[in-house]
Amino acid sequence: MTEALDILLPILAATLRLATPLLLAALAGLFSERAGIVDVGLEGKMLVGAFAAAAAAAVTGEVMLGLLAAVAASCGLGLVHAFGCITLRGSQVVSGMAINIIASGLTATLALAWFGLGGQTPPLSAAARFLPLSMPGAEILAGIPVLGRLYASLVGGQTALVYLALLLVPVSAFVLARTRFGLRLRAAGEHPAAVDTAGVSVTRLRYAGVLIASVLCGVAGAYVATAQGAGFQRDMIAGRGYIALAAMILGGWQPGRILLTCLLFGALDAAAIRLQGVVLPGIGAFPVQAIQALPYLLTVVLLAGFMGRALPPKASGQPYVKER
């Protein structure tokens, strides 16, 4: 029992840690797409957020300033996306890809110019990072064999941003389904002309959706650089933005299902790390890349066959133009 727990607990805890940035970014994509703006720029906004968080935290030594800087930087890029897609009615995919490319180059260049460490930020001290929180009463419960350990290192022992991300799932669901803002946001993504003729501004709703997405991407970036890691490294988001996009699609644009897919992808990632260097009899070193490719494969296969068709918001990707 304890042996199984010894193996399982770290994997479960790692799953939560690895799923968090995916979850934040996938919820970001959710708010943007529900408003009708496709966001392939999740990756770039996370990267800029990660860099801003690490840079600000390194300079000030304050983790919260790092978080604020991440959100601000991500919102800056988000506004560029919004201006291009909503105000100028440009192509949303092209704008998103441009953001990813800009972010990749900009962060590396600025890091080199400011810190001169080969494109990294200086390693962060403990005060400049999000640290795992211990749950109240963990010591008391530590005596109980299984529960105690579960409580200490799975329920507890995570950084504040992990709890924030989890909390955002029911909050997002509530906002979308039960509030005036959510109703209008969803309508803007389904049939913007209906929103317009109801006397509500489509432009404002879509800007709001993109900005919410930017805030969440900023938090996700800060998490990667200042909670999961201890500083910024070149291209450190490493495709998480795209995996989050896949999680959002596989999650059918629904917060609850997005949580499940993010946990699944997080578990795959945790397993891949765990299996790194493990030698299988007859095969040799375990092919970790196979597991890393699984999220993409799963998305394609599950969407194609087993889950039926996922229905994106009807008007997502289409600029809103008043027609005659």
Partner 1 sequence: MALPDRAPAAIELRGIDKRFGAVHANRAIDLVVRRGHIHGIVGENGAGKSTLMAILHGFYQADAGTILVNGQEATIRDSRDAIRLGIEMVHQHFMLVERFTVLENVMLGAEGGPLLARGAARARAELRRLGAEYGLGVDPDARVADLPVGAQQRVEILKALYRGAGVLILDEPTGVLTPQEADDLFRVLRALRDQGRTVLLITHKLREIMAVTDRVSVMRAGRMVAHRDTGATTPAELGELMIGRRLAAPTPLPPMPAGPLLLEARGLSVRDKAGVERVSRVDLALRGGEILGIAGVAGNGQGELLEALAGMRRPAAGEIRLAGETVFPAGRFDAALLRRKGIGHVPEDRLRSGLLRQDNAAATAILGHQDDPRWRRGGLLSPRAMAAHARRLMRDYDVRPPDPALRSALFSGGNQQKLILGREIERDPKVLLVGQPTRGVDIGGIDAIHQRLLAHRAAGRAVLMVSVEIEEILALSDRILVMCGGRIMGELAAAEADERKLGLLMAGIAQEDAA
Residue numbers at the binding site for partner 1 (CB under 8 A): 178-181, 183-184, 186-187, 190-191, 193-200, 311, 314, 322, 324
CA distance 241 to 235: 11
Task: Give least dist CB 243 to partner 1, A.
Answer: 27
| DSSP tag of 126 | G
CA distance 244 to 295: 10
Task: Give least dist CB 324 to partner 1, A.
Answer: 8
Q: Quick one: 142 or 178, whose CB is closer to partner 1?
A: 178
Q: Quick one: 188 or 243, whose CB is closer to partner 1?
A: 188
| DSSP tag of 132 | P
Task: Give least dist CB 109 to partner 1, A.
Answer: 41
Q: Quick one: 188 or 263, whose CB is closer to partner 1?
A: 188
| DSSP tag of 225 | I
CA distance 294 to 277: 18
Task: Give least dist CB 36 to partner 1, A.
Answer: 12
The dihedral sign for the CA sequence 236, 239, 245, 249: negative
Task: Give least dist CB 200 to partner 1, A.
Answer: 5
CB neighbour list of residue 234: distance below 8 Å, 6 or more residues apart: 107, 108, 111, 119, 120
Q: Quick one: 41 or 312, whose CB is closer to partner 1?
A: 312
User: Structure tokens of 280?
Assistant: 């299988």
Q: Quick one: 191 or 234, whose CB is closer to partner 1?
A: 191
Q: Quick one: 180 or 289, whose CB is closer to partner 1?
A: 180
CB neighbour list of residue 199: distance below 8 Å, 6 or more residues apart: none
Task: Give least dist CB 194 to partner 1, A.
Answer: 4
Of 232, 228, 229, 212, nearest in space to 103 by CA: 232
Evaluate whether 210 touches 221 at the Cβ level (below 8 Å). no
CA distance 203 to 322: 12
